[in-house]
Amino acid sequence: MELSVDLIISVSALHQLPEITVLSQDANFARGLFETLQIDFLLTRNPFFALIQRQYATVHAFHERDMPCATVAGLLLLKLYALPSLYRQGNFARVGLYENDIATLIQAYQPDLETLFAVLAQHLSATDMTALRDIVSEIQQRIARFQHGFGEHA
C-alpha cells in the first residue's frame, strides 16, 4: 500500500516548495512526491477547496509545528464531493474506501448532514446531489443495521 497525503494549497504556495517534485497538475489538482511520499494537492483556485481551507479546518500541533487539518465536517465534505467523480471514473476500490470513511465518520460523529448537503449543493449538480443523498441514505441504513444488531428484529 502506498503512503499518500492530501493537502489543500494555493498554486503559488505549491511552487514555493522546491522539495516537492510535481508529477502532474491541472486546474484543480496536482500530484507530487516528497522523497517516497505521494502528495495529492487540492488547489484553492477551486472555490470548494478554498472554502474547506477557510471554514472547515482547525489547527493541531504535530512535532512542535502547528498544522491546519480538516474538521470532521471538512473531511465529510471533501469525501462526498469526490464521490460523483469516482463513480464516473468507475474506480470501485476508491469508491469503497470513500464510502467506508463517510460511514465511519457519520457513525462516530453524527454530523448535521443537511447542513453539509446545503454546502455541497452550491458546488455540485442537482443530479450529483440526488445521487449523494441516495448514497448517504444507504450508508445510514447500514449504520442502523449495525446499531440494531445483525439479524435481530426490533
Specify whether 59 is located in the same domain as 99. no
Specify whether 140 is located in the same domain as 80. yes
Instruction: Decide if 153 is inside a domain.
Output: no
**What SS3 class is residue 57?**
strand
Instruction: Decide if 154 is inside a domain.
Output: no
Give the pTM. Answer: 0.89
Specify whether 50 is located in the same domain as 89. no
pLDDT digits (tens, 9 = 90+) for 81-99: 999 999 999 999 999 999 9
pLDDT digits (tens, 9 = 90+) for 90-147: 999 999 999 999 999 999 999 999 999 999 999 999 999 999 999 999 999 999 998 8
Instruction: Decide if 84 is inside a domain.
Output: yes
Domain that holds residue 49: 4-70
Q: Is 80 exceeded by the pLDDT of residue 151?
A: no
Q: Which of 57, 56, 21 is nearest to 38 (CA)?
A: 21
Which residue matches cell numbers 472554502?
Answer: 51
Q: What is the pLDDT of residue 129?
A: 98
In angstroms, the CA 119 to CA 48 distance is 9
Q: What is the pLDDT of residue 146?
A: 87
Domain count, the chain: 2
